[in-house]
Structure 1
Amino acid sequence: MAPVEIGELVRELRKARGWSQGRLAAEINDAFGTALAREYVSGWERGKVRPGPFYLRALARVLDVPAAALAGGGPADGAAAAALAPAVASDLLSTGFAARLRGGPSAGEWEGRLTAYGTDYMSSPAADLQRRVAEDLVVVQQQLDDPRMWSVAARLMTVYATTFSRQECAKTVMWFRMAADAADRSGDTGVRVWVRGRGALTLGYGGTSTGLAELLADQALALTGKPSVGLLHATLGKAYAAALRGDRATALRLADRGRRIFDAAYDPSAQLSDYSIPSWRMNGFLSLLSARLGDEKQATEAREAALRELPERLPRFATHLELHKGLTLVRAGDREGGVACARAALEALPQDKWCGTLQMLMAEIAA
């Protein structure tokens, strides 16, 4: 599957803001003192001309996406096998061709693997999860002959997108976008909403690409109003983006909507998984949102409620909550104490359990 073209991404992000091509040109001109004409934006979007390095940086800034996500390139076939050590690349390629020649897992078997990944996400190291999902992506590439397999591929891509570090955020963006495209080919509305919602939540939570977070969230919200985990993810991702943008009223309105969706979709019997939202996780999401809004009382109450119910076997999530506390302190004016609190929490967690969103939060607090 080819990476999305720069022009398509620019057009989607521009439209998500309700901007005309002229408005996008004006935003760049105001920010950088240039004299960019609307016709140049049109040329970029139609693929007639490629923006140079300067305008790639300008577009990234005004559209709020990582510059690397606009710089071209993308994941190669076979999960970037050509960039791996030859022996590893050989194993991946042979696995993929064997699946095509002899048949791979059935749809039911894939659903079982996806269920396992949802559980493993909660505690497995990101590097281990990334390796395993990459192997499965190589196999499922050879089975994309019907909509069910596109549904499997879309969800695998989404899991894969969550495994990259802060330094690799452009890869996160690319994989979330490809996952959304794959989900569309499945024709399954629930999958289309979940994939986009999960992408919006990750990007909004990490604060690395709020422009794309809002785009994915808006797409999910336009697909259905039926309460679900995916719709909750999309609503919270959009709320995070609004908070980072300084739009307090919108963030609070979306938080209230998120609470209503949670109440309607909550399943107390659901197993511990990335596909479910227990009350402690919902409170964790709200603690970060309140911290970003500078509401110390609400942030503290939500964080403490989450800690009361958080399973002891999930230290990574406890670290998230400590980082929320650090951000709350920084927003309240105690920058030194907040940074020290967050850094101590992160350093106490074994590095193999670090994830991109933790690193992004630490960078936000330190900045």
Structure 2
Amino acid sequence: MTSTSIGCLIRDLRVALSWSQGRLADELCRVSGHSTATREDVSRWERGKRTPGPYWLAHLATVLEVPLHVLEDAKMDRRTFVTSLAATAVAPVVTADLIREGFDAALHGGPDTEAWLDRLARYGADYMTAGAAQIQQRVAHDLVVIQQQLESPVMWGVAAKLMTLFAKTFPGADGAKAVTWYRRAAIAADRSEDNETRVWVRGRAAIALGYEGAALPVADLFAEQATQIEDKPSIGRLNAVMGKAHVAALRGDDNRATELLYEGKRLFDRAGSDDVASSDYAVPFWRMNVFMSLLLARHGAERNAIVARETAMEYLPATLPRFRTHLEMHHGLMMVRSGDRKGGVAYAEEALNALPPEKHSLTLRMLLGEIRDS
């Protein structure tokens, strides 16, 4: 990539905040305490005519509400993008076997396309039940191997979905990891030349960040990109719309949240999964109601939140206790929003403590933090 890449990111984040170039310049002046940033500076950055240095990168990260690492990461070129997969992914699981398998893939070739697609399907199911640490180590291993095979659009598509899953194993609050991996996944998805993959990756990032209440401008940005790629109803577009609805609810824009919820329901009727599939690639009836349960709790719509939560409980597969804990914690949030802060926090803590520690997820811990802070 070139300076144009970081320029595009600055522009996209600015537009997601509904700011003009002049407004961004004013915000930069405000946080820096200097009046040296101008609309012309912002324009030059966005057009790739000039690259912001470390001083302005730090202030851009502040006003655009993204981790500094996200902006720094946007400056890397294609070679850096590919090789950085190993640099980041190896860290949790540096072993002789992992290094050996990476070199074996480079020298002799790794799994074929069909094997990678089968592996992705297994990940979709395993994500619903396995702990974040276990998934993270497995995906890190596969990222080291697959980077040796990124020679076709279909393999970029596989890599994009692996990176999206890898991002999900980090808390959204740790944007230097989670958001950066979502951005890498979006870049890889674009190289897949497959619109369904491009929409799904961005939509999955949007609902993940929106559900977690983290990096809201980035969640909004991914959702907007997903809906602009194509109008076709899909799981990716549904995720994007529901992610955007959560962002609106967290910002206190109840009218917009309601409007997006209705749009999400219409999309679900056309693109939702027909069965109760336990896969991260599916949004069956119970999972749609999980999205709605938290959204309505944040929205303060107590009666509708109860209906969505009870419906999700009724259809939720018994093999997914972690999602039942999600729903119990939504009730805790609703209690807090209704004025019973002490009772709501205690209810949520009890629900999380009842789940075996190995089943805990980063998202659940973030949800507990939101309940305590409400």
What TM-score, normalized to structure 1? 0.90
Q: Residue 35 of structure 1 corresponds to which residue in structure 2?
A: 35
1:249-264 equivalences under 5 Å are: 249-264=255-270
Q: For 2:366 and 2:45, how far apart are their aligned partners in 1?
A: 30
Higher mean Cα deviation, 184-193 or 263-272? Answer: 263-272
Contact 1:236 1:255 in 2 (8 A): yes
Residues 115/84 of structure 1: CA separation in 2 closer, same or farther (3 Å cut): closer
- TM-superposed CA distance for 1:171, in Å, is 0.7
Residues 112/307 of structure 1: CA separation in 2 closer, same or farther (3 Å cut): same
Contact 2:70 2:179 in 1 (8 A): yes
Query: Do residues 92 (structure 1) and 98 (structure 2) align?
Result: yes
Q: For 1:293 and 1:81, how far apart are their aligned partners in 2?
A: 37
Query: Do residues 118 (structure 1) and 124 (structure 2) align?
Result: yes
Q: For 1:217 and 1:330, how far apart are their aligned partners in 2?
A: 29
- Counterpart code for 2:65: D
Q: Residue 13 of structure 1 corresponds to which residue in structure 2?
A: 13
Tell me the secondary structure at the aligned position of residue 168 of structure 1.
Answer: coil
Tell me the secondary structure at the aligned position of residue 169 of structure 1.
Answer: coil
Q: For 1:215 and 1:267, how far apart are their aligned partners in 2?
A: 25
Structure 1: gaps of 5 or more residues: none
Contact 1:200 1:233 in 2 (8 A): yes
Report how many residues are paired: 363
Q: Residue 284 of structure 2 corresponds to which residue in structure 1?
A: 278
Query: Do residues 76 (structure 1) and 84 (structure 2) align?
Result: yes
Q: For 1:36 and 1:338, how far apart are their aligned partners in 2?
A: 48
Contact 1:315 1:349 in 2 (8 A): yes
Query: Do residues 187 (structure 1) and 205 (structure 2) align?
Result: no
Higher mean Cα deviation, 168-177 or 110-119? Answer: 168-177
CA RMSD of aligned residues (A): 2.6
Q: For 2:303 and 2:89, how far apart are their aligned partners in 1?
A: 49
Structure 2: gaps of 5 or more residues: none
- TM-superposed CA distance for 1:181, in Å, is 0.5
Tell me the secondary structure at the aligned position of residue 208 of structure 1.
Answer: coil
Q: 2:239 aligns with which of 205, 216, 233?
A: 233
- Counterpart code for 1:76: S
Residues 323/35 of structure 1: CA separation in 2 closer, same or farther (3 Å cut): farther
Higher mean Cα deviation, 264-273 or 30-39? Answer: 30-39
Higher mean Cα deviation, 14-23 or 217-226? Answer: 14-23
Q: For 1:89 and 1:149, how far apart are their aligned partners in 2?
A: 25
Q: 2:326 aligns with which of 320, 328, 331?
A: 320
1:141-160 equivalences under 5 Å are: 141-160=147-166
Contact 1:81 1:92 in 2 (8 A): no
Contact 1:193 1:223 in 2 (8 A): yes
Q: Residue 62 of structure 1 corresponds to which residue in structure 2?
A: 63
Higher mean Cα deviation, 159-168 or 225-234? Answer: 159-168
Contact 2:29 2:37 in 1 (8 A): no
Deviations for 1:165-204, whole angstroms, at most 9, x for unmatched residues?
3563321101100100000001001000100000000011
Query: Do residues 213 (structure 1) and 213 (structure 2) align?
Result: no
Contact 2:85 2:143 in 1 (8 A): no
Residues 343/5 of structure 1: CA separation in 2 closer, same or farther (3 Å cut): farther
Query: Do residues 199 (structure 1) and 205 (structure 2) align?
Result: yes
- TM-superposed CA distance for 1:29, in Å, is 4.2
Q: Residue 244 of structure 1 corresponds to which residue in structure 2?
A: 250
- Counterpart code for 2:301: D
Deviations for 1:8-50, whole angstroms, at most 9, x for unmatched residues?
5323211333423221122344567653522554565545332
Residues 41/82 of structure 1: CA separation in 2 closer, same or farther (3 Å cut): same
- TM-superposed CA distance for 1:79, in Å, is 4.8
Q: Residue 293 of structure 2 corresponds to which residue in structure 1?
A: 287
Same amino acid, percent of matched pairs: 51
Tell me the secondary structure at the aligned position of residue 325 of structure 1.
Answer: helix
Q: Residue 172 of structure 1 corresponds to which residue in structure 2?
A: 178
Contact 1:65 1:208 in 2 (8 A): no
Q: For 1:41 and 1:210, how far apart are their aligned partners in 2?
A: 22
Q: For 2:90 and 2:232, how far apart are their aligned partners in 1?
A: 42
Q: For 2:301 and 2:35, how far apart are their aligned partners in 1?
A: 41
Residues 354/69 of structure 1: CA separation in 2 closer, same or farther (3 Å cut): farther
Q: 2:140 aligns with which of 134, 140, 143?
A: 134
Query: Do residues 24 (structure 1) and 17 (structure 2) align?
Result: no
Residues 169/293 of structure 1: CA separation in 2 closer, same or farther (3 Å cut): same
Q: For 2:258 and 2:287, how far apart are their aligned partners in 1?
A: 18
Q: 2:365 aligns with which of 345, 356, 359?
A: 359
